[in-house]
Amino acid sequence: MPELPEVEAARRAIEEHCVGKVIKKALIADDSKVIDGISPSDFEASLLGKTILSAHRKGKHMWLRLDSPPFPTFHFGMAGAIYIKGVAVTNYKRSVVNEDDEWPSKYSKFFVELDDGVDLSFTDKRRFAKVCLLKDPASVPPISKLGPDALLEPMALDDFIESLGKKKLAIKTLLLDQSYISGIGNWIADEVLYQARIHPNQSAATLSKESCAALHKSIQEVIEKALEVGADSSRFPNNWIFHSREKKPGKAFVDGKEIHFITTGGRTSAFVPELQKLTGAEPKNQNSKRKINEGKKMNDEGVGELVSKTKKTADTTDTKTKSKPKGPSKKPSTKRKSKINEDDGSDEEAENDDASDDEDNIHDIGKMKAGKRTNVGRMHDASESEKPSKQTVPSSRSGKQRKKAK
C-alpha cells in the first residue's frame, strides 16, 4: 500500500504542477465509501473557483490548502494514487493508470481541471481510501493523533534510544504504530529492520544502543533513497529486501540469502534469519492479531483502531433492509473470493497480509447518513444537473445495486 514515499511523491508533484492555479471544473465520485461525510455536489461546489495554495502531508495523509477552507484531505488506503495528466508521479503497482486508459479514469474519486488546462485526479481502484473536506485537517483526528512524521520530524538519536527502551513490544509492531512514528508501513518496516539487521520480533526494549542507532539511520536512508527515485519501486536499490518480499517462501532471496516469512502483530514480516538474529524471549502475544484498544493505539493506516461511526451506521442500515428469510436457513458458503471486480473497482478479496477490511475501513473523519448510500463509481459533474433515481440497496462489500427483499 502507499506509504510515506509514495504520498510524499504525490505531494511534491502537486506542489510543482498545481500550486497557484484555479479550479475550473470538479468531478467527485458518487461513492460514499471513499467520499466521506459530504455529497458529491456539495464537495464540487466547495472547490469551484478556489486557488490551490499548497500541498501538505503528515504520515500517509495529504491535504490541499486552498485560498479558503474547507480543504480536500486524502488518506490513500491500499491503492490510492494521485495522477496529473502528462506527469509521471509515482509507479505504484496496485494503482497504475495507463496512458491509453479513459480519462478521467473510471476509478477516479476526485478530479479537478485547473485554469491552465492541467488535470489532477485521485484514483482508488480498491475503494479503501478516504477523501473528505476539513476546515483544519492537522487539528482533528486522525491527523492530529499521528506521531512525529518519519521524514519531516525525525526523533533525535538520544530520544529515539530512550523511547525504545521503554517499549516492551516487538520492534516491528512499534514501527507500525502511527501514534509513535507516522508514515512507516509494512514494506518500509521490513526494509529498515533488514538494513539495520534487527529481527522484526525483537523486543524494542532489549535493543542495544548500537542497534537503535542503526535503526535510526536506516529509517532516514530508506525513506530518502525511495524519494530520490520518485517512489518508483522498480528503481529501488537492488540490495533491498523489498524486491523479493512478495515472492513465495523458498523462492525469495536477497544478496543470495534466503528470506523467511513470519507474522508480527498480525502482519506478514519478511526477514533474513542469517542476518537478523532474535535474542532473548519474544514479546508476549506479538504473533496474535492486534486488539481494538479504544483509539489508544494507531495502526499503520494512520487512524485509531476504533471502528468509526460511519462504518457502524452503514452496517446497521444494510442489515435493516434485509428481510428475514422464510423456511430453513442455508449454511453460508465458506468459499473465499479472490477476484477484484474490474468494472467498479470493488475489493472482493478475503483478508490479506497488507490489511484487513476492518483496518482499512477504520476512519474517524466525517459521518455518513443512514440510507443515503448510492451507486458506486458514478461521477457528478458540477456543471450538470442531477436527475433523481429509483431507490436501491447497495451491497455492503462491493457497492453493487441489488433489489430489496420482499
Nearest-angstrom CA–CA distance, 302 and 60: 7
- What confidence tier does 95 reach under pLDDT thresholds 50, 70, 90? low
Cis bond upstream, residue 142 (ω within 30): yes
Average pLDDT over residues 246-263: 96
pLDDT tens-digit profile of 340-351? Answer: 333 343 333 333
- What confidence tier does 368 reach under pLDDT thresholds 50, 70, 90? very low
Query: If you count them, how many residues does the chain have?
Result: 406
- Per-residue pLDDT, 298: 55
* Whether the model pTM is above 0.85: no
The least confident of 113-122, 283-292, 321-330, 393-402 is 393-402
- What confidence tier does 235 reach under pLDDT thresholds 50, 70, 90? very high
Write out the catalytic residue numbers. 2-3, 60
User: To 5 degrees, how large is the angle CA 345–CA 348–CA 351?
Assistant: 125
- If you write DSSP's letter for every residue of 40-84 in order, what string do you get? HHHHHHHHTTPBEEEEEEETTEEEEEESSS-EEEEE-TTTEEEEE
Q: Which amino acid is at 312?
A: K
Please say if the pLDDT value at position 114 is more than 90.
yes
- Per-residue pLDDT, 309: 37
pLDDT tens-digit profile of 141-190? Answer: 999 999 999 999 999 999 999 999 999 999 999 999 999 999 999 999 99
3-state helix, strand, coil in the chain (%, to 5): 25, 20, 55
pLDDT tens-digit profile of 68-89? Answer: 999 999 999 999 999 998 787 7
214-219 long-range contacts (CB < 8 A, ≥24 apart) are: 215/160, 215/171, 216/154, 216/155, 216/157, 216/160, 216/161, 218/191, 218/192, 218/193, 219/150, 219/154, 219/181, 219/184, 219/188, 219/192
- Per-residue pLDDT, 221: 98
- What confidence tier does 1 reach under pLDDT thresholds 50, 70, 90? confident
